[in-house]
Structure formats: C-alpha cells, structure tokens
Structure 1
C-alpha cells in the first residue's frame, strides 16, 4: 500500500483503461479507493450491450502506477477525458461515482465540447465535515499501515444498515478480508484529494443533461451533498435511491440502471 512505482510520464499515457462494448461512448470515473469493476461491475455488461464503455483507473488503481506527487483534480479530469479521445471518441457521457462525480463535473467544465451528459452518483460539490473527517481518518490509518482498520471502516461506510444488521459475524469478517485484499495502492492518495475538492464554482456553467443519483443510506457521502450538487446545476434531475449505501447493492443498482437508461434513451 505504498507508492512503489511513481508515475513519471503524463498521466493519460500510463493509465490502465478498460474498454468494453460498442456504440456511443460512456466514460466512467470511479471513486476513491475504487476501480471500474468495483464501482460499475454490476452494470458493465448491460451498458456495454449498446455502448462503448471506457474505464480509466486513477493512479494507484487497477494497473495504473501510483503517483509520485499529490493528485490534482484538473489533471485527473484531463487524463480521464484523454483516455476516451485517444481511443477515437470525440464526445461522450461521463458517469462519475463519489470522487468520480467531481472528476466528471470538472471534465464538463474543462472540456464542454466533449461532454454530452453527466451521471453523478453519491457525489458532492465540496467535502462536508463528515466526508472530510472520514478522508483524513483513512489517510492517517493508511499512512500508518493500519489496513485492517481501513477495511473495517470501509465496510462500515459502504454497506447498508440492513446488511450490517443481518450479516453473521463470520460473513462480516469475510467481507472485511475481501475489502482488505481489494484496497488499491493509491488509496491514501485518493482520499487525501477529497478534502481539497471544491467544484461549486463549476456547477452553474454546466448546460448538458445531468442526472444526480443520491443513495439515502450513504454514510460516507451524505445524501445532502448530492442534493446540493443537483441544486447547483441548472436543469439537473435528482433521483434518490431509498436506503441505498455508498456502494450500491444489486437491487439498488438495478434502480440506478433504470434511471440511467432513461437518460441515455433521451439523448
């Protein structure tokens, strides 16, 4: 969990990018400590049936080398956009999850000619006190090598209340172990960026269709953050997913997919 392979080349040139399907392009922006499979795995096959999915990994996620310097939102947004443009896609819908929502908003601001629409899930314009505290906790624990504690915090933050209440102790321990094994090398770098993000000034200038999805059971990015995001973007549609956790389970992701399909069908 250390930055053993610093990124020397421009970020876009070293990004691990997963490409699935054919058709109009959907550019995927994953969350902090996540990845394309981790955030979008439940819907990749469905969306790839009639779209080309382009899924770049941030430094220290997937097979992208870890960063040598602190992450920068502008650089991330530019590199994510370039991952699609360099593969021949001039315009695309950007789908951001959590941190990826801020990346998507910044991409729309810096590259308005390329972004057709935005789908923002569990997003935030600026870290509220709860998210800022969580980010600093993960950063501190990660730097101290306390990865089991990070995994337990991730399970607490990302599972639903029902999951936690009904899960036997052995199953919970297995979930913690699986989470621990999946933590990316760039976990600390990703979470260190969260308190630095502020895209409030970007919102009023976004003029493409925007769908904001707010899981109301999210304990990491509180649903009011998604509501503020939607209020700040002219014409944005807000959809709440009742009881949904930060990482959507299969049933809640099916609700998500229904609304996303509605947006895509209207473009």
Structure 2
C-alpha cells in the first residue's frame, strides 16, 4: 500500500481505549457538532476529532474539497495520532465522509455511527443548502443567516421552549461562529452521492435519526439504514442539533452500540 501523505487537519485527542474518529458537519467544527458527547465517549475510548479545512484551527484548503480527500485526511489524522483502527462517528455531512472512509479504508474502520445523515441530498435538502450558501455569501455574520439556521437545525419543540433572551443568544452564536470554510464545505452537496458505497460496507453500522430534523429529514436516515447491510436504526426525539437537544441520549446510543461491537458489554 502506498503511504498516505500527512494529514493537514488540526485535531484534538481525548481519552484512552478503542479508537473512535469523529467526522463533523459542514459549516461546523468537531466541538460544535459533537459538543458535550465528546467527554462521555472519551471515558472509555481514544477519541480523535479533526476539523475539516476552514474549520477550527485547520486552514482553508488550497484545492477544491472532495469526499475522497476528506475521507483520506480524517483517516490519516487518526493514524498520525497513533490510532490505527477505529470506529467513525459521522454527523450530518460527516456521515458521507464516514461512509466513504469505510469503503476506501476497510482495513482501519471497525464500525460506523451515522447521525442526522444522508447518502444523497434530495431536492429539499439541496434547496436548504443553496439558501444557506446564498445568505452566507451576502452577510455571513448577519441576523438573516443566523435566524435561518436556527429554524433549520433546532427542533420545533426545542425552539418553542426557548426564551426571547435564549433565542437572541443563539442567534449571536450562529452569527459569530460560521467558519471561513463553510461555503467550500457546503459546495460538496453539489456532488455528494454515496448511495453506490452503501452496499459495500461490511462493518456494523448504527444510523441515528432525529425525528424532528427539518434540515436532513428522517427520510434520509431510512435510506442509509435500508441501503447498508445489517444496519441498525435508532430514533431520537429532537431536531438536527442533537448535541444541543439530546446529548446524553445520543452519547448513550453511541456508547452502547460501540461497546457491543467491541465486546466490552453494556
């Protein structure tokens, strides 16, 4: 096998134990996508969290992004961290990166957890992403983009329970937190299609579907689960932002699944 070039991705490593590699969503970073579940997972695993180009401390890429590039880079970031085999937990667009990594690097990937994910963006998702990109280009730190993202990623019930002050705080976080690489990451939606990869996956897979996701609807999770041999499907009562709405339940689903895969018990 030809050695892979060193990964250019900035990364953090937490905990000890069996390997777990994180693949975050577009327009996000590893801490934003996975947030409070990282600490729980790191109690029994070595968790490697790379940031995609233009997110976190990773500089913007000097070439167009592709799923193959991101898949190879996140795998190499784990290897460079001393973790040579690992499960991958992908969130949102990171699920497609995780799927591609499992197909390109079957000797390293032991299991997949695909949360709020998709195999191919349907017309509604494409429209949502196009709107996000348009608002981001015109005013990336503006209230309109922040309000749009709040409506798309927050579950309806969760948003309705927020006070006016909490909503304003969230809008401020969205306005201040958009990474410089967001548009390049979102541009991948024009080309993503991992449907042909699904049947080739030969590792245990858990698909986590947020029941109230308005951005990447449950239809996408069902497509993933139906396309991957032996995949399990679990449903959480929340919107797209699982880490904000159901962090404890999400962490427990991931932990129990991976413990069972690794024969550690539950």
TM norm structure 1: 0.92
2:227 to 214, 220, 232: 232
> For 1:58, what is the secondary structure of its paired residue?
coil
2:184 to 185, 189, 193: 189
Question: Matched residues in 2 for 1:42 and 1:146: separation?
Answer: 26
Asked if the contact 2:27–2:179 (Cα under 8 Å) also holds between the matched residues in 1, the reply is: yes
Given the alignment of the two structures, is residue 248 of structure 1 paired with residue 253 of structure 2, yes or no? Answer: no
* Per-residue Cα deviation, 1:86-109 (whole angstroms, up to 9, x for no partner): 222211000000010000000000
> For 1:13, what is the secondary structure of its paired residue?
coil
The within-5 A match list for 1:144-223 is 144-148=138-142, 149-223=144-218
Given the alignment of the two structures, is residue 122 of structure 1 paired with residue 116 of structure 2, yes or no? Answer: yes
2:52 to 49, 54, 58: 58
Q: Give 1:140 deviation, angstroms.
A: 1.7
Given the alignment of the two structures, is residue 111 of structure 1 paired with residue 111 of structure 2, yes or no? Answer: no
Question: Matched residues in 2 for 1:27 and 1:195: separation?
Answer: 25
Question: Matched residues in 2 for 1:144 and 1:49: separation?
Answer: 42
Q: Give 1:54 deviation, angstroms.
A: 0.4
Question: Matched residues in 2 for 1:11 and 1:155: separation?
Answer: 38
* Per-residue Cα deviation, 1:177-207 (whole angstroms, up to 9, x for no partner): 1111111111111111123100000000101
* Per-residue Cα deviation, 1:118-174 (whole angstroms, up to 9, x for no partner): 000001000011211111112222222343222211111111212322323332122
Q: Give 1:22 deviation, angstroms.
A: 1.1
Task: Report how many residues are paired.
Answer: 257
* Per-residue Cα deviation, 1:52-80 (whole angstroms, up to 9, x for no partner): 11011001100101123331110000000
* Per-residue Cα deviation, 1:217-245 (whole angstroms, up to 9, x for no partner): 10110111011000000000001112x11
- The alignment yields a C-alpha RMSD, in angstroms, of 1.6
Asked if the contact 1:125–1:200 (Cα under 8 Å) also holds between the matched residues in 2, the reply is: yes
> Where do 5+ consecutive residues of structure 2 fail to align?
none
1:28–1:12: structure 2 CA closer, same or farther, 3 Å change rule?
farther
Partner of 2:257: 263
Question: Matched residues in 1 for 2:136 and 2:84: separation?
Answer: 38
